[in-house]
A and B are shown apart, each in its own frame.
Chain A
Amino acid sequence: RKEVEQDPGPFNVPEGATVAFNCTYSNSASQSFFWYRQDCRKEPKLLMSVYSSGNEDGRFTAQLNRASQYISLLIRDSKLSDSATYLCVVTLFMDSNYQLIWGAGTKLIIKP
Chain B
Amino acid sequence: SQTIHQWPATLVQPVGSPLSLECTVEGTSNPNLYWYRQAAGRGLQLLFYSVGIGQISSEVPQNLSASRPQDRQFILSSKKLLLSDSGFYLCAWSVQSGAHEQYFGPGTRLTVT
Contacts and interface: CB of A to CB of B under 8 A. Distances in A.
| Size class of the B contact interface (CB-based, 8 Å) | 20 to 34
Contacts of A91: 99-100
B87 interface: no
7 contacts: A42-B106, A46-B102, A87-B43, A91-B99, A93-B99, A97-B51, A100-B102
Interface in A29-55: 31-32, 34, 41-46, 49
Interface string B75-107: 000000000000010100000001111111111
A99 to B, nearest CB: 8
A100 to B, nearest CB: 6
A104 B101 contact: no
B99 A103 contact: no
A100 B98 CA distance: 11
B43 A105 contact: yes
Contacts of B90: 43-44
Interface of A: 31-32, 34, 41-46, 49, 87, 89, 91, 93, 95, 97-100, 102-105
Contacts of A32: 99-101
A104 B104 contact: no
Contacts of A31: 99
Nearest to B105: A43
Contact of B104 (A34, A45, A93, A105): A45
Name which of A42, A98, A100, A103 has the most chain B CB atoms within 10 A of its CB.
A100
Contacts of A102: 43-44
Nearest to B106: A43
Name which of B90, B102, B105, B109 has the most chain A CB atoms within 10 A of its CB.
B102
B44 A97 contact: no
Nearest to A105: B43
B81 to A, nearest CB: 21
A96 B67 CA distance: 20
A21 to B, nearest CB: 15
A7 to B, nearest CB: 13
B42 A104 contact: yes
A98 B98 contact: yes
